[in-house]
Structure 1
C-alpha cells in the first residue's frame, strides 16, 4: 500500500491548499478503507466459491460479458500504468542517487537510468507467483517505511524555508483549477492497491470455520494504520516546510544531508522493484491465460519467457519516452485507480449484497460511486494539461 505515490503528496498538498488538501487525504483514507473491506468480504460471499480475481467478481456481479468488458480494461490500465510509473520512479531515483553521491561526474540521461532499473525486472519477472516474491515484498515494505521516515524527518530538520508561501502556485484561475484536479489524481494513486487485493487474499488458506477474510482484514487494518502514519506526516510536514515551492518528488526538495538523501533514493529503488513485481504478476497471469486459452499457444517456459520480457520491454519503452512523474501519477490515479479503488467495489457490493434501498449502506455506496466518477473525469483533465505543458520543452530520451 505504501507506494511511490507518497513522494508526490506534498506537491499535491501545494496544489490543493491546507484545508482541501487535508480533507482529501482523510476522506480518501476512509473511502478506500471502506471499499477494501468490501473487497475482502465479497471474496467468499457466495457459498463454496472464491473470487480470486477482480474480473471474476465483476462477472458475477454484472454478468459474464459486461463484467469482463467493464472491468478488464480498467485493470489493464491500472496495472500497466503502475508498471510505467514505477519504471519512471526507479530510473529517476537511481539518477538522483548517482547525482547526489557523485555531483562532479558526467551527467547520464534519465532514459539510461530507466533501462538500468528495468534490467532487474527482466530477471525477477520470471518468478512464478506471489509466494515466490514474498522476500522481495518484505524488503520493499521495510525500505518504504525507511524512506518515508527520512522524507518527513529530514524535512523537519531543514526547518521552514525562508519566504515560504502557501498560496496556489499558478497565477491564473484556469491553471489553479486544473492543478487542483491533477492533485486529486495524485492522491487517488497513492491510495491504490485494490486491483491486487483478491489475488493476495487467494493465497490465504480458507475453511468454513476459519475463512480467509479474518486474517486478510487484520492485515488490511494494519496496512492502513501504517498508511496513515506514512502519508499524513510526509504530506503535511513536506508542505509546511517547503510551501508551494515543493518539488513533485519530496526527495528532490531535500538536498542535504547528501548521504541521507542518497540512501533514501536507493530505498525507493528497492521498494519499487518489489512494487513493480506485485503489480506485474496479475498482468502476466492475464497475458498467459489469453495466449493459452484464447490463442491456443502451448503452455511452455518459452512462452512465459517471451511474453513476460515483451511486457517489461513495453513498460520500459513508454517510461523512457514519457518520464513525466507527476503527470503520469495524476493521470493514472484519476483515470484508472478511481474506478478500481473508489467506485467499482461499491457497484459490485450493490449488485451482489443488495443492501436495503435508501438505507445507510445504499447511500454510502452511492456517495462513493459519485465521488469516484467525478474523480475519474476531472483528474485526467488536469494531468493531461500538465503533461502537455511539460512536453513543450521536453526532448525525447534526454
Structure 2
C-alpha cells in the first residue's frame, strides 16, 4: 500500500512501474472515455430482453433507479479518493482498508473486485468471439465452412496477448477512446434500426413465461442483467489515480467532470436501446438486439464489428487493475524484480486463462449473473455507501444517512434476488452441454 511522502526510493521506483500508479498525466476527458468503455459494455444490447422480462412499468423504474443510484455511489468514490490530506486511495481495496481495517478491507473488497473484473473479461472473450462468428456467418452465408465458436474466441484472444503488454491505463487511452466511440455507435445502430423497422405486426408485451414462478425467476434474472450494465465502479479509483493532483487542485474536479459526461453518454446509450428495442419486438426480442434485427446485413455486420472493437478496449480496462494486483503481489510481497519479462509472462498467463474459461463455458454470462450477483451489486450499488457511513459517520436520520441506507437495502435485495434467477438460467442452459464442443 502506498505511504505517500514516506515511501523509500525503492518503493517509489516500484510504484512508478506498477500499472495504476506509473502515470498521473491523464486529462479529465480520459476519465470520460475510460468510464464509458468500462460502463457501456455489450450488455447494453441485452437491455431490451431485460425489459421483456420486467415489463414496461417495472423495467423503466429499474433502469432509472439504477442510473441514479450508481451515479450517486460513483460520486461518493470520486469524493473519497483524496479525503485524507496528502494521500490518494489509488485502488478500490486501499479505500476498503481505510474504511474497514488493513486485513478486513482486503478480504471484503479484493475477492468481489476480482470476481467482477476477471468475470467481465471472460464474458468479453465470449462476446468478442460471438460477434466475430456473427460477422463471418453474415458475410459468408452458405459459401463458407462452418467454424466453431472456440476458434473465434482464440482469434479474439490473440489481439490481447499483444495489447496486454501496454504498461498502464494512460497507454491504452487511444484504445479506450476507440472503444467508447464504438459503444455509442453500436448502441445507436441498435435503437435506430429498431425504430426504422417499426413495431412487429403481432407484437406482444406480455411475459414469455407461462407460469407465475417462471415470471418471477425471469424478473430476478433481468435484475441481474441491469446490474451487469453498471459495473464501472470496479475501476473508477484506478482511473482517477491517473489524473494529476496538487494541494490546490485535487483530482476529484476533473474526474467528476469526466464522470458526468460519461453518465450522459451512458443514458444516451442505455435508455433508447432498452425502450425502442422492446417497443419494436415486444417479448420476442432476442437477448442481443442485433440478432433480432438481422437486416440490413451490412449494418448488422458493421454493428458487430463495433462490438468487437469495443470489447477489445473494455477487456483491457478491466484487466489493468488485475494486472496491478498480480504485479503488486509478485514485486512487493514475493520480491520479484520489476522487469518486462515478468510482465510478459504474468499477463500472457492471464489472457490465456480467460480465453480457456471462455472456450470451456461459453454460457458464462449465466454464471456471471450468479456469482456476479454477489459481487456486482456490492461493489457498485452499496459498498461505497457502507464505506461512506463508516468513514464520515453522518448523523442518524439525516438526509445522507437515509439516502445511503436506501441504497444499501436496494443493493442487498439485488444481491440476493439476481443470483436466484441466474441459477435457474444456468440449469436450463447446462442441460446436454458438452465442454469444449
Shorter-chain TM range is over 0.9
Tell me, in whole angstroms, the C-alpha distance in 1 between the residues paired with 2:276 and 2:426. 27
Tell me, in whole angstroms, the C-alpha distance in 1 between the residues paired with 2:374 and 2:54. 19
Q: CA RMSD in A?
A: 1.2
The structure 1 residue matched to 2:167, chosen from 128, 131, 137, is 128
- Number of matched residues? 398
Name the structure 2 match of 1:269.
308
1:355, distance to aligned residue in structure 2 (A): 1.0
- Mapped pair 1:211 → 2:246: no
1:216, distance to aligned residue in structure 2 (A): 0.6
1:394, distance to aligned residue in structure 2 (A): 2.8
Say whether the 8 Å CA contact 1:186–1:326 is kept in structure 2: no
1:160, distance to aligned residue in structure 2 (A): 0.9
Tell me, in whole angstroms, the C-alpha distance in 2 between the residues paired with 1:378 and 1:278. 28
Name the structure 2 match of 1:74.
112
3-state secondary structure, aligned to 1:161: coil
The structure 2 residue matched to 1:232, chosen from 271, 275, 287, is 271
Q: TM-score, normalised by structure 1?
A: 0.98
3-state secondary structure, aligned to 1:349: helix
Say whether the 8 Å CA contact 2:358–2:364 is kept in structure 1: no
1:332, distance to aligned residue in structure 2 (A): 5.0
Say whether the 8 Å CA contact 2:123–2:365 is kept in structure 1: no
1:121, distance to aligned residue in structure 2 (A): 0.4
Per-residue deviation, residues 22-79 of structure 1 (Å, max 9, x unmatched): 0000000000000000000000111111110000001000111110111110011011
Say whether the 8 Å CA contact 1:248–1:326 is kept in structure 2: no
Tell me, in whole angstroms, the C-alpha distance in 1 between the residues paired with 2:275 and 2:295. 20
1:136, distance to aligned residue in structure 2 (A): 0.2
- Mapped pair 1:43 → 2:81: yes
Tell me, in whole angstroms, the C-alpha distance in 1 between the residues paired with 2:289 and 2:147. 22
- Mapped pair 1:354 → 2:388: no
Q: What 5-or-longer segments of structure 1 have no aligned partner?
A: none
Q: What 5-or-longer segments of structure 2 have no aligned partner?
A: 1-38
- Mapped pair 1:246 → 2:285: yes
3-state secondary structure, aligned to 2:423: helix
The structure 2 residue matched to 1:11, chosen from 43, 46, 49, is 49
- Mapped pair 1:103 → 2:141: yes
Per-residue deviation, residues 65-107 of structure 1 (Å, max 9, x unmatched): 1101111100110111110111111110111111111111222
Tell me, in whole angstroms, the C-alpha distance in 1 between the residues paired with 2:64 and 2:83. 29
The structure 1 residue matched to 2:318, chosen from 275, 279, 293, is 279
Tell me, in whole angstroms, the C-alpha distance in 2 between the residues paired with 1:273 and 1:263. 16
Matches within 5 A, 1:382-397: 382-397=421-436
Q: TM-score, normalised by structure 2?
A: 0.89
